[in-house]
Amino acid sequence: MAVNGPTILSLGDRTTLTASNGISENTLVSALGRLNYSFKGKYLLTATVRQDGSSRFGTNNRSKTFGSIAAGWLLSEEGFIKNVDFISSAKIRGSYGTTGSNGIPDFIARPSLNPVDQAFGSRLVKGVYNGDPGNNNLTWETSKKLDIGFDLSFMKNRINLVFDYYNNETTDLLLSRSLPLSSGFAGTLTNIGSMRNSGFEITLNANVVQSNEFSVTLGGNVTKNKQEVLSLGGANELFNFFGALRTVVGGELQQIRGTKAIGVVQAGDVLPAQPTAVPGDIKFEDFDGNGTIGDFLSKDGQLVGDPNLDLIYGLNASIRYKNFELFTLLQGQSGGSVYDFYLCQVGTDAQGVNLSKEFWYDGRYVSPSQTGDGKTPRAGALLATGGAAGVGFVSSLGVQKTNYLRVRNITLSYNIPSGFSEKYRIRNARLFTSIENLYTFTKFIGGNPDARRNSIGGPGLIGGSRLSGTSDGRELALTSVPSLPLPRTWTVGLTFSF
């Protein structure tokens, strides 16, 4: 089928070269209104209403109206606060509003055709088949957010504190629903389910030392989040990536499921559930207590982690002495995990390759007199343990914590004195050097702890739902190809203006 649009040209062997092109478009139409009101400069009110229409949704529900209202009270303008010397300013605020998301592919609400090649004798014929039934009722994913907080400044604004509590509930989640195979379709996108994110954010900045020649400024922020899936459109569980990732009502998005490794078999161990195990093999938990070890899809499979972060934080410091200034920024996170299929399936000695010395070699069990660290099995144990069931290939062995503290930036600068600059008719001259991503403190193996793999399939395809109901194409908890570490960049520069 010819598609009008830009042509993609490549160099290569014309007999084997393949090329493709495509075109897509979407339209967003919005109307916005806002009202601001202030009484005596200390009672503040803002109200907003907007209507959005997107061509990505079904013809029945393309438009939706959203709104918000926010109020603030400047306590520092009240008499009982003005007399408190160490308080520079104080404000209490709150807001509630709704927003929408249309982050889905173009034309997905419409029925679509997929191309297919078919042989008739020795002749290749190109055709199409029904790809997606479409959904005329598809509409906006909606978030309802409540925010309550306060801003405080002390000691002539040398210390500033900002606190926020938030509760964000998202409804009409845009997820894919599996369809019966008798329909001729694997599935279709629809609005199902809801989830909640709640927590708090704190930001603190302080001018610790402040003088004409010397100053020290410190700052930091921390966010704590709790996530809960409230509904999955009638289903109790949502399955991803062959069932290794699970979203359960009452839990968090994309929790990790697998058999749980609890150590390394030692000489003299009696394991009724693993009668053929030898010293150095991996020891698994008999979760259902039936006397045998099953794979991750059996009742021995359990939740062994999730990708959702408990804490996200940052720290910054600035030290200035005369014309020199040193700035440092640190960033970190904790509480999340990721399923690294590469470590426990592809890059292992069980497959004839051992691409992680740290994971599969350091601390390895060698003999009864060299038992290692009690966590790293003998060579080839992953393939042997569990026999044909391959229990260890989808297990807690592949779960990695994504905790880290990263030295994000260090910058040293020198502000060239104005007298020297003016001599050459330049202004604001500054010489600097900086390093990005100097070092990351982490136990994560293999590149960037933040990297994730895109979904490799939808409902009915590789990685899709194993059960009828719903499936989600976003693989938040999976990495199966080693990612590159963030590059360390050193920069030297000079800035000035005329």
Question: pLDDT tier at 454 (50, 70, 90 boundaries)?
Answer: low
pLDDT of residue 1: 44
> Higher-confidence residue: 378 or 224?
224
Question: pLDDT tier at 394 (50, 70, 90 boundaries)?
Answer: confident
> Higher-confidence residue: 170 or 18?
170
Tell me which H or E stretch contains 218: strand 214-231
Residue 168 has pLDDT above 60, yes or no: yes
Residue 39 has pLDDT above 60, yes or no: yes
pLDDT of residue 79: 84
The pTM of this model reads 0.81
pLDDT of residue 327: 97
- What residues contact residue 400 under an 8 Å CB cut-off, 6+ apart? 337, 338, 340, 343, 444, 445, 449
Residue 17 has pLDDT above 70, yes or no: no
Residue 4 has pLDDT above 50, yes or no: no
pLDDT of residue 309: 92
Categorise residue 193: left if φ over 0, alpha if ψ from -120 to 50, beta otherwise: left
Mind spelling out the 3-state secondary structure of 347-413? CCHHHCCCCCHHHHCCCECCECCECCCCCECCCCHHHHCCHHHCHHHCEHHHEEECCEEEEEEEEEE
Query: What pLDDT digit, counting tens, does each position of 320-342 carry?
Result: 999 999 999 999 999 999 988 88
Cβ-in-10-Å burial (0-12, 13-18, 19+) of 233 comes to middle
pLDDT of residue 235: 78
> Higher-confidence residue: 318 or 118?
318
Cβ-in-10-Å burial (0-12, 13-18, 19+) of 422 comes to exposed
Query: What pLDDT digit, counting tens, does each position of 274-296 carry?
Result: 888 889 999 999 999 999 988 88
Question: pLDDT tier at 460 (50, 70, 90 boundaries)?
Answer: very low
Mean pLDDT computed over every residue of the chain: 84
